[in-house]
Structure 1
Amino acid sequence: MKLLSVNLGRRTSVPYTDQPEGVTGIDKRPTDAAVRVAAPGPKGTGASGLAGDEVCDMRHHGGDDQAVYAVAREDLDDWERELGRPLANGAFGENLTTTGLDVSGALIGERWRVGSEVVLEVTCGRIPCRTFQGHVGEERWVKRFTAKGAPGAYLRVIEPGEVRAGDAIEVVHRPDHEVTVALQFRAVTTERELLPRLLPAGEALHPESLAAARKYVAQHGG
Structure 2
Amino acid sequence: MTSGIVLSLNVGRSEPNPAKDTDATGIGKRPVDHAVTVRRPGPKTTGLHSGVVGDFIGDTKHHGGDDQAVYAYAVEDYAWWAAELGRDLTPGLFGENLTTEGLDLYNAVLGEQWQVGDGVLLQTTFGRIPCSTFQHRMAEPRWIKRFAATNRTGAYLRILQEGEIRPGDRIEVVDRPAHGLTLAEAFDIYMHAPENLPRLLVAEALPPSLRDDIEKRLAKSSA
For normalisation by structure 2, the TM-score amounts to: 0.94
Task: Pick one of 2, 13, 16 that aligns with 1:13.
Answer: 16
Q: How does 1:48-59 map to 2 (within 5 A)?
A: 48-59=50-61
| Distance (whole Å) between structure 1 residues aligned to residue 130 and residue 77 of structure 2 | 15
Structure 1 partner of 2:41: 40
Structure 2 runs not aligned, ≥5 long = none
Q: CA deviation at 1:102?
A: 1.2
Q: Please say if residues 6 and 164 of structure 1, whose CA atoms lie closer than 8 Å, have aligned partners that are also in contact.
A: yes
| Cα distance change on mapping 1:219 and 1:171 into 2, 3 Å | same
RMSD (CA atoms):
1.2
Q: Please say if residues 125 and 156 of structure 2, whose CA atoms lie closer than 8 Å, have aligned partners that are also in contact.
A: yes
Structure 1 partner of 2:101: 99
Q: Please say if residues 9 and 25 of structure 1, whose CA atoms lie closer than 8 Å, have aligned partners that are also in contact.
A: yes
Structure 2 partner of 1:158: 160
Structure 2 partner of 1:137: 139
Q: CA deviation at 1:87?
A: 0.8
Task: Pick one of 72, 75, 78 that aligns with 2:74.
Answer: 72
| Cα distance change on mapping 1:16 and 1:219 into 2, 3 Å | closer
Amino acid at match of 1:36: T
Q: How does 1:181-196 map to 2 (within 5 A)?
A: 181-196=183-198
Q: Please say if residues 50 and 67 of structure 1, whose CA atoms lie closer than 8 Å, have aligned partners that are also in contact.
A: yes
Q: Please say if residues 196 and 216 of structure 1, whose CA atoms lie closer than 8 Å, have aligned partners that are also in contact.
A: no
Structure 2 partner of 1:200: 202
**SS of corresponding position for 2:51:** coil
| Distance (whole Å) between structure 2 residues aligned to residue 107 and residue 211 of structure 1 | 21
Q: Please say if residues 195 and 212 of structure 1, whose CA atoms lie closer than 8 Å, have aligned partners that are also in contact.
A: no
Cα shift readout 1:54-95 (whole Å, capped 9, x = no counterpart): 011100001000000000100011111111111110110000
Q: Please say if residues 27 and 95 of structure 2, whose CA atoms lie closer than 8 Å, have aligned partners that are also in contact.
A: yes
Cα shift readout 1:1-59 (whole Å, capped 9, x = no counterpart): 1110110000001322331x2x1100001000100011001111221000110011100
Q: How many residues align?
A: 218
| Distance (whole Å) between structure 1 residues aligned to residue 112 and residue 13 of structure 2 | 29
Amino acid at match of 2:154: G
Q: CA deviation at 1:103?
A: 1.4
For normalisation by structure 1, the TM-score amounts to: 0.94
Structure 1 partner of 2:32: 31
Structure 2 partner of 1:2: 5
Task: Pick one of 103, 108, 111 that aligns with 2:110.
Answer: 108
| Distance (whole Å) between structure 1 residues aligned to residue 76 and residue 21 of structure 2 | 30
| Distance (whole Å) between structure 1 residues aligned to residue 25 and residue 218 of structure 2 | 36
Amino acid at match of 1:34: A
